[in-house]
């Protein structure tokens, strides 16, 4: 595609830059580490936003790797959905990098963290930029293994047993997904999503393939009832890792499901799968929220909140599937789901970071150790509370916009029963967030031990992310317009709304 000043090969930049950073940080001497890390993070973010700007200006992009082209080779592909995820990863990635540079400043983990983290970032970007079922598998592996390594990195028995459980679940998920891909290839001889359009899930073979694919992906996304691995893994990892896992990693497998289901799935398959995913999502909302309400440790509460919030993501499937009713509203449900992913990423990242700063300062994160922190660590507590607003889906946060659009779409398409669930879920979220935050408002206990000094960037990174989650609610039109680029719905459904 000859195009003045922009080659489609730039699509590879968001993958190549973090990969080079990983190699550089592992192979170069320790003196250069800080520079390589900073360069890698900023460079990746710049590359991601260049692709975003290009797609926003000129529509979806495709690049044939090695010049072969699908089906023989692999294509990189970016549309609005991809670049939004890319941008989300870029923002979170920079924040996590900055945070980690403070968090691991004097820790043993500072050597091993960086290459693995950049590989995780590579995997995420690669996943968002591909449209090939097998390449999805490879990127999922990259993400899964690096996530497990990062969880295990801390080395304590709790972290290790959580990591091992995570590893098993990730492996089983990969295996199921891989089996599904093999069956798909056996049936159709194609792996590229564009070539598979509307063909997934036809006939008994296709249905079995689809079932395997979906189960594998759900296990990795931690949708109820396959969520059991998530709370221990996310809560026992070091804070920057928890943030990456909850904000980004669970979104990766969700993204695959979202991308394949609208487009590659046959209509019948989607109509059959949509309600199941919706029901599981609803159960996840209830179960995760109730569990979060009973946790006495901050990080566990946040982790269970992720279980619940992942549930919301899946509510878009029954609303947006074909034949659910008012066609124009299906596209809004689809966008609402994406927007929820974005705002949850910022909010949850902020929450884990704030919790990490508190853990760093106090040494513990049970609810009683939060007493008086409103006075002593106002920035972290504010970050926790502001991010909580988005998690509770109160206006004007991004979480509210997502929920409102999904609510309206659900009622408009005649599925009003999701409304009480979503509104009730919001109340439960308010319950578990305030149950923790209220402790910060107690006056400082007289015998409170002194706090360890916390690098300031830890607290402020969390606050900035929380404010992004809040501000997304006031500036939602641009992301929504981007999501509409190349969306699997007729274009006029979007333009009339925006």
Partner 1 sequence: MAETRAYIGRTQRVMLAIGLLPLLAALLSAIGSVPARPPNLAAQVAARMGDSGVTHPLTAVLLNFRGYDTMLEIAVLWLAGLGALALAPGPSAQRGRPHPVLAGLLRVLAPALVMTAGYILWAGGFRPGGAFQAGAVLGAGLVLASLGGVVHLDPARGLQCLLGLGVAVFTGVAVWSWAQTGELLHYPGTTDKWAILAIESMAALSIAFILLTLFDRLTSPSTSLSTSLSSSPPPPPAA
Partner 2 sequence: MPIFDSMLPLLVLMTSLVTAAVIFALGEERAKARTFFNLLGALAKLALVGFMLWGVFHERVFETRWRFMPQLDFVLRADSMTILFSTLSAGLWLLTTIYAIGYLEGSPNRRRFFGYFSLCVTATMGVSLAGNLITFFVFYELLTLTTYPLVVHRGTDKAIKAGSMYLRYTLGGSAAMLAGMLWLYVLVGPFDFAETGALSALDPRLHWQLIAIFVLLIGGLGVKAALIPLHRWLPEAMVAPAPVSALLHAVAVVKAGAFGIVRVVYDVYGIEFSRDLGVLPGLAAIAALTILYGSIRALTQDDFKRRLAFSTVSQVSYITLGVSLFGPIASIGGLVHLVHQGIMKITMFFAAGNVAEALGAHKVSELDGVGRRMPGTMAAFSVAALGMIGVPPLAGFISKWYLGWGAAAAGQYWALGVLAASSLLNAAYFLPILYRAWFKPQRKPWPHEHLRRGRFEISPWLLLPPVATAVLVVLAGLLAGHPFSPLGWVRIIAGREYLAP
| Integer angstrom CA distances of residue 102 from 18, 109, 115, 246 | 20, 12, 16, 20
Residue in 153, 436, 480, 482 binding partner 2, rule: CB under 8 A:
480
Per CB under 8 A, does 404 bind partner 2? yes
Three-state SS for 384?
A: helix
Per CB under 8 A, does 6 bind partner 1? no
Q: Smallest distance from the beta carbon of 58 to partner 2, in angstroms?
A: 23
The residues near 178 (Cβ < 8 Å, ≥ 6 apart) are 137, 216
Give the one entry of partner 2, partner 1, none that residue 222 binds, where binding means its C-beta sits below a cut-off of 5 to 8 angstroms depending on kind: none
Please report the sign of the dihedral spanned by the C-alpha atoms of residue 247, residue 249, residue 250, residue 251.
positive
* Window 458-477: contact mask with partner 2 (x via CB under 8 A): ---------------xxxxx
Q: Smallest distance from the beta carbon of 410 to partner 1, in angstroms?
A: 26
Per CB under 8 A, does 443 bind partner 2? yes
Q: Whose structure tokens read 């968002």?
A: 128
Give the one entry of partner 1, partner 2, none that residue 35 binds, where binding means its C-beta sits below a cut-off of 5 to 8 angstroms depending on kind: none
Per CB under 8 A, does 43 bind partner 2? no
Q: Which stretch binds partner 1 (CB under 8 A): 140-148, 312-320, 347-355, 452-460?
A: 140-148
Q: Smallest distance from the beta carbon of 366 to partner 2, in angstroms?
A: 17
Give the one entry of partner 2, partner 1, none that residue 48 binds, where binding means its C-beta sits below a cut-off of 5 to 8 angstroms depending on kind: none
Contact between 202 and 269 (Cβ < 8 Å):
yes
Contact between 65 and 132 (Cβ < 8 Å):
no
Per CB under 8 A, does 366 bind partner 2? no
Three-state SS for 376?
A: helix
Contact between 388 and 134 (Cβ < 8 Å):
no
Q: Which stretch binds partner 1 (CB under 8 A): 87-95, 160-168, 303-311, 457-465?
A: 160-168
CA distance 126 to 137: 11
| Token pair in block for residue 446 | 């007289």
Three-state SS for 439?
A: helix
Q: Smallest distance from the beta carbon of 417 to partner 2, in angstroms?
A: 13
Q: Smallest distance from the beta carbon of 428 to partner 2, in angstroms?
A: 11
Per CB under 8 A, does 101 bind partner 1? no
Q: Which stretch binds partner 1 (CB under 8 A): 131-139, 245-253, 397-405, 451-459?
A: 131-139
Q: Smallest distance from the beta carbon of 177 to partner 2, in angstroms?
A: 34
- Cross-strand pairs, 75: 64
| Integer angstrom CA distances of residue 200 from 127, 191, 264 | 20, 11, 6
| Token pair in block for residue 179 | 């089996």
DSSP string, 39-90: HHHHHHHHHHHHHHHHHHHH--EEEEGGGT-TTTS-EEEE-HHHHHHHHHHH
Applying CB under 8 A, the residues found at the interface with partner 2 are 332, 335, 372, 374-375, 378, 385, 389, 394-396, 401, 404-405, 407-408, 411-412, 419-420, 423-424, 426-427, 430, 434, 438, 441-444, 473-477, 480, 497-498
């Amino acid at each position: 595609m000859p195009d003045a000043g922009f080659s489609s090969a730039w699509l590879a930049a968001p993958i190549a830059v973090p990969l080079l950073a990983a190699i550089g940080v592992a192979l170069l001497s320790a003196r250069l580490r800080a520079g390589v890390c900073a360069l890698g993070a900023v460079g990746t973010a710049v590359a991601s936003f260049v692709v975003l700007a290009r797609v926003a200006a000129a529509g979806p992009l495709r690049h044939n790797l090695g010049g072969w082209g699908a089906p023989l080779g692999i294509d990189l592909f970016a549309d609005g959905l991809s670049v939004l995820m890319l941008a989300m990863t870029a923002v979170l990635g920079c924040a996590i990098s900055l945070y980690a540079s403070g968090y691991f400043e004097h820790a043993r983990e500072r050597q091993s963290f960086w290459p693995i983290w950049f590989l995780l970032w590579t995997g995420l970007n690669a996943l968002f930029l591909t449209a090939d079922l097998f390449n999805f598998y490879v990127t999922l592996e990259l993400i899964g293994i690096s996530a497990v390594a990062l969880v295990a990195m801390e080395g304590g028995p709790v972290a290790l047993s959580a990591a091992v459980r995570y590893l098993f679940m990730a492996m089983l998920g990969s295996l199921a997904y891989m089996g599904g891909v093999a069956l798909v290839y056996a049936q159709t001889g194609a792996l590229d999503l564009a070539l598979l359009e509307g063909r997934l899930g036809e006939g008994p073979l296709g249905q079995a393939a689809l079932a395997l694919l979906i189960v594998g992906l759900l296990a990795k996304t931690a949708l109820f009832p396959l969520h059991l691995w998530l709370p221990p893994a996310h809560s026992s990892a070091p804070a920057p890792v928890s943030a990456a896992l909850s904000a980004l990693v669970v979104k990766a497998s969700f993204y695959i499901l979202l991308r394949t289901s609208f487009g590659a799935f046959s209509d019948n398959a989607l109509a059959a799968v949509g309600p199941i995913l919706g029901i599981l999502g609803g159960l996840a909302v209830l179960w995760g929220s109730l569990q979060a309400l009973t946790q006495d440790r901050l990080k566990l509460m946040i982790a269970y909140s992720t279980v619940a919030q992942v549930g919301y993501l899946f509510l878009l499937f029954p609303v947006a599937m074909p034949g659910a009713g008012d066609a124009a509203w299906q596209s809004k449900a689809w966008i609402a789901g994406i927007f929820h992913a974005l705002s949850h990423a910022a909010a949850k990242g902020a929450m884990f970071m704030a919790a990490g700063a508190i853990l760093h300062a106090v040494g513990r994160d049970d609810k009683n150790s939060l007493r008086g922190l409103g006075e002593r660590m106002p920035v972290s507590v504010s970050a926790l509370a502001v991010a909580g607003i988005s998690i509770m889906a109160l206006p004007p946060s991004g979480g509210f916009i997502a929920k409102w659009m999904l609510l309206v779409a659900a009622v408009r398409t005649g599925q009003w029963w999701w409304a009480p669930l979503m509104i009730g879920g919001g109340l439960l979220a308010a319950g578990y967030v305030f149950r923790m935050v209220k402790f910060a408002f107690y006056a400082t206990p007289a015998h409170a031990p002194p706090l360890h000094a916390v690098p300031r960037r830890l607290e402020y990174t969390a606050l900035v992310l929380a404010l992004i989650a809040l501000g997304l609610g006031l500036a939602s039109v641009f992301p929504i317009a981007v999501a509409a680029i190349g969306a699997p719905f007729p274009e006029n459904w979007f333009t009339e709304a925006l």
